[in-house]
Amino acid sequence: MDTKPDLKALAAANPDHWAKATAIRALTLDAVHAANSGHSGMPMGMADVATVLFEKHLKFDAAAPNWPDRDRFILSAGHGSMLLYALLYLTGYPEMTLEQIKNFRQWGAITAGHPEYGHAPGIETTTGPLGQGIANSVGFAIAEEIQRARFGKPLVNHRTYVIAGDGCLMEGVSQEAIALAGRLRLSRLIVLWDNNNITIDGPVDISDATDQVARFTASGWNVISIDGHDPQQIDEALTAARGADRPTMIACKTHIALGHAAQDTSKGHGALTDADQMAKAKAAYGWTTGPFEVPAETKAAWESIGKRGAAAHARWKERLAALSERRQAEFARIYAREMPAKLAATINALKKQASESAPKVATRTSSERVLEVVNPILPETVGGSADLTGSNNTKTGDLGIFLPDNRKGRYIHYGIREHGMAAAMNGMVLHGGVRAYGGTFMCFTDYARPAMRLAALMKIPTVFVMTHDSIGLGEDGPTHQPVEHLAISRATPNTWVFRPADTVETAEAWELALNSTETPSVLSLTRQNVPTVRTKHKRENLSAKGAYVLSPSEGKARAVLIATGSEVSIALEAQKTLQAEGIPTRVVSMPCMELFAAQDEAYRRKVLPVGPVRVAIEAAVQQGWDRWLYGEGGRDKKAGFIGMTGFGASAPAGTLYEKFGITAEATVAKVRELLG
């Protein structure tokens, strides 16, 4: 920035505001100094914006941080975590104590390096991977619109505020997010851009000359440019944003590390720990108290901001209580992520019908059949696809399209934006009251992965519908044929990867995904038709144990074939041949490795006994299979894998299975070889 800000003049112009904003700056300096790590500059630069937002605009009640109708505040520039922690401490969120601030970035503290959802109320989402927060926020705003359309303004009437930095706006996902938000006219979404022209390597212009105002305007946003250190301009911009008929981006011109020797430099981005420079900055602020000490009147002023929403919250509770009991219970149910009792019966009826009629259909079609019966009884589901609706089979008859003139729509055309879609789905789930699922090709798990990983880390039950899950998709070729994606998804902690074999298992997978409260699910579904393998109806959800004996051996098993999804029928075919040759063979279907791993050892041993040779069949890479082949009692190590060792190819699916050797014959040959 060309002009150096005059701190004395700023302080004199608005002494009350200055004291409050300085408390954020001083706490940031102290916490980063104590941790000897962190990011000081961003909270110091955005303290004025955040102070005005919390003081005059944000609807919240610090004593009741989970009030469903609160405004959501999302710190997309997650490295500036001390901004959020300082705000939560100052306004009096009970869990954000001074002790926690003093333990910034330490083991066991809720004040992690980057804000982590679940650590403390007031942290609405996990941020740090730049761009995620702004992309989540689109989902928050969609969820608010859908909830308001469903329950009415007296109950749902809030906004989503985001602080995003230069980095968030440079990340590709931000374009996906803002384009979608602009088209959907999410007028309750307000992004405050920390326009400080600094990133880690230097000024922004070393790598970017984008006119952000023009960019947002072109995407259908309202844009306001202000001096981010002028409380009046900040207030007026926020007031204008709240009245806009489209999403608003407020470009806040700020000085990173305001008042510090590192101000306006990339050095100001990181940890400003030099004691001398810290003392000088505090002196420049006119801040005279010791480390971590906020003057009583400033703390009191902040605490009264924290109570500002209490009356509105009380009135909201009265309005909730005035609803019929049935409606209150429904509101509570969806926010508790509870499934209605009728889900089990609905799934069971579909399973029974599928077992009896034994259709030969693709599991993506099975998934659609499940959604056709599930969506009507679960008003909280919101589906969508990244421009592959007809391929992912994610749309059902009863879901209208979510658009500016149809906020009751429960289906979202995300456009070709897998990453933005996945992040928006996370935002919806985090907002609460909504269960989001969305589809793309399994191969494009890669494009969605940063958000899929965060769903797992945040412990939220987003459902990723990934169709066209192997070479079985055929002619589209290796660019579209996933081979490593199951392994990557399975390697991600706290993720259930379902690869169902038929309609029955698909229904079971959906039942588990919907009943999940803390684990995201990946549904890996075929493009090609597969036979029904579960032809005997069982009410019990067999997939819940992750793997089970689908077809027992005739006599004591000498071979166990383990397969998933489209390869289960290959295992059954191989079993027939082997048994005809006098080799008793068991077939185990393993729709979810993670759930199988969670069973006790006795059950795992029962399904995979010591002794028989084992062959796993899956049209993907072997990585992740060794535990079930060689571990888990497979001490004799007589095991083999039938699957992919490299990329696929473009040809009809049947040819590809032949050429890559994923066949019943190859399985039989492998078993013979192992038995010697």
Ligand X SMILES: Cc1ncc(C[n+]2csc(CCOP(=O)(O)OP(=O)(O)O)c2C)c(N)n1
Return the active site residues: 418
Cα–chain-centroid distance for residue 278? Answer: 37
**Tokens 């935002």, located at residue:** 427
Write down the least CB distance from residue 195 to ligand X, Å.
9
Residues that bind ligand X (rule: CB under 6 A) add up to a total of: 19
Write down the least CB distance from residue 391 to Mg ion, Å.
40
Give the separation between CA 456 and CA 537, rounded to whole angstroms. Answer: 33
- Out of 141, 163, 192, 256, the residue judged to bind ligand X by CB under 6 A: 256
Q: Which lies closer to Mg ion via its Cβ, residue 137 or residue 196?
A: 196
Write down the least CB distance from residue 193 to Mg ion, Å.
9
Write down the least CB distance from residue 459 to ligand X, Å.
21
Contact 104, 165 (CB under 8 A): no
Binding flag, residue 253, ligand X (CB under 6 A):
no
- Residue 105 binding result from Mg ion, ligand X, none, given CB thresholds of 5 to 8 Å by partner type: none
Write down the least CB distance from residue 101 to Mg ion, Å.
24
- Out of 7, 27, 41, 457, the residue judged to bind ligand X by CB under 6 A: 41
Binding flag, residue 116, ligand X (CB under 6 A):
no
Binding flag, residue 135, ligand X (CB under 6 A):
no
Contact 368, 394 (CB under 8 A): yes
Of 97-105, 124-132, 492-500, 575-583, which segment contacts ligand X by CB under 6 A? 124-132
DSSP 361-391: EEHHHHHHHHHHHHGGG-TTEEEEESS-HHH
Q: Which lies closer to ligand X via its Cβ, residue 41 or residue 259?
A: 41
First-to-last C-alpha distance (Å) of the chain: 77
Binding flag, residue 198, ligand X (CB under 6 A):
yes
Q: Residue 619 in 3-state DSSP?
A: coil
- Residue 306 binding result from ligand X, Mg ion, none, given CB thresholds of 5 to 8 Å by partner type: none
Of 160-168, 337-345, 475-483, 536-544, which segment contacts ligand X by CB under 6 A? 160-168
Give the separation between CA 391 and CA 380, rounded to whole angstroms. Answer: 23
One character per residue 572-611, x = contact with ligand X (rule: CB under 6 A): ----------------------------------------
Contact 384, 414 (CB under 8 A): yes
**Cα–Cα–Cα angle for 33, 197, 247, nearest 5°?**
105
Write down the least CB distance from residue 125 to ligand X, Å.
14
Binding flag, residue 272, ligand X (CB under 6 A):
no
Binding flag, residue 413, ligand X (CB under 6 A):
no
- Residue 41 binding result from ligand X, Mg ion, none, given CB thresholds of 5 to 8 Å by partner type: ligand X
Q: Which lies closer to Mg ion via its Cβ, residue 131 or residue 383?
A: 131
Q: Which lies closer to ligand X via its Cβ, residue 14 or residue 81?
A: 81
Give residue 661's identity as a one-letter amino acid code. Answer: G
Residues that bind Mg ion (rule: CB under 5 A) add up to a total of: 4
Binding flag, residue 491, ligand X (CB under 6 A):
no
DSSP 43-72: HHHHHHHHHHIIIII----TTSTT-TTSPE
Cross-strand pairs, 436: 382
- Out of 115, 122, 128, 139, the residue judged to bind ligand X by CB under 6 A: 128
Q: Which of 73, 227, 251, 234 is nearest to 162 (CA)?
A: 73
Give residue 130's identity as a one-letter amino acid code. Answer: L
Q: What is the DSSP letter of 192?
A: E
Contact 438, 465 (CB under 8 A): yes
Of 166-174, 372-380, 558-566, 576-584, which segment contacts ligand X by CB under 6 A? 166-174
Binding flag, residue 130, ligand X (CB under 6 A):
yes
Q: Residue 392 in 3-state DSSP?
A: helix
Q: Which lies closer to ligand X via its Cβ, residue 269 or residue 417?
A: 269
If one counts every other C-beta atom within 10 angstroms of the C-beta of residue 296, the result is 9
- Out of 269, 337, 413, 417, the residue judged to bind ligand X by CB under 6 A: 269
Q: Which lies closer to ligand X via its Cβ, residue 168 or residue 615?
A: 168
- Out of 21, 27, 29, 42, the residue judged to bind ligand X by CB under 6 A: 42
Q: Which of 134, 270, 112, 129 is nearest to 199 (CA)?
A: 270
Q: Which lies closer to ligand X via its Cβ, residue 137 or residue 519?
A: 137
- Residue 65 binding result from ligand X, Mg ion, none, given CB thresholds of 5 to 8 Å by partner type: none
- Out of 55, 124, 144, 166, the residue judged to bind ligand X by CB under 6 A: 166
Q: Which of 302, 291, 297, 300 is nearest to 26 (CA)?
A: 291
Of 161-169, 403-411, 492-500, 538-546, which segment contacts ligand X by CB under 6 A? 161-169
Cross-strand pairs, 497: 522
Closest-by-Cβ residue to ligand X is 165
Q: Which lies closer to Mg ion via its Cβ, residue 3 or residue 288?
A: 3
Cα–chain-centroid distance for residue 549? Answer: 33
One character per residue 179-208, x = contact with Mg ion (rule: CB under 5 A): -----------------x-x----------
Of 195-203, 227-235, 420-428, 618-626, which segment contacts ligand X by CB under 6 A? 195-203
Write down the least CB distance from residue 78 to ligand X, Å.
7
Binding flag, residue 329, ligand X (CB under 6 A):
no
**Cα–Cα–Cα angle for 543, 433, 108, nearest 5°?**
80
Contact 259, 284 (CB under 8 A): yes
Give burial (CB, 10 Å; 0-12/13-18/19+) of 555.
exposed
Give the separation between CA 649 and CA 619, rounded to whole angstroms. Answer: 13
One character per residue 149-178, x = contact with Mg ion (rule: CB under 5 A): ----------------xx------------
- Out of 81, 100, 136, 196, the residue judged to bind ligand X by CB under 6 A: 196
Write down the least CB distance from residue 384 to ligand X, Å.
24
Closest-by-Cβ residue to Mg ion is 166
| Tally of CA atoms within 13 A in the half-sphere of 634 that contains its CB | 22
Give the separation between CA 512 and CA 151, rounded to whole angstroms. Answer: 27
Radius of gyration of the chain (CA): 28
Q: Strands 639-642, 613-617: parallel, antiparallel or unpaired by DSSP?
A: parallel
Binding flag, residue 69, ligand X (CB under 6 A):
no
Distances (CA, A) of 55 to 7, 91, 141, 156, 515: 21, 10, 22, 21, 39
Contact 155, 312 (CB under 8 A): no
Give the separation between CA 174 and CA 181, rounded to whole angstroms. Answer: 10
Task: Note the residues at the interface with Mg ion (CB under 5 A).
Answer: 165-166, 196, 198
Task: Note the residues at the interface with ligand X (CB under 6 A).
Answer: 41-42, 77, 79, 128-130, 165-168, 171, 194, 196, 198-200, 256, 269
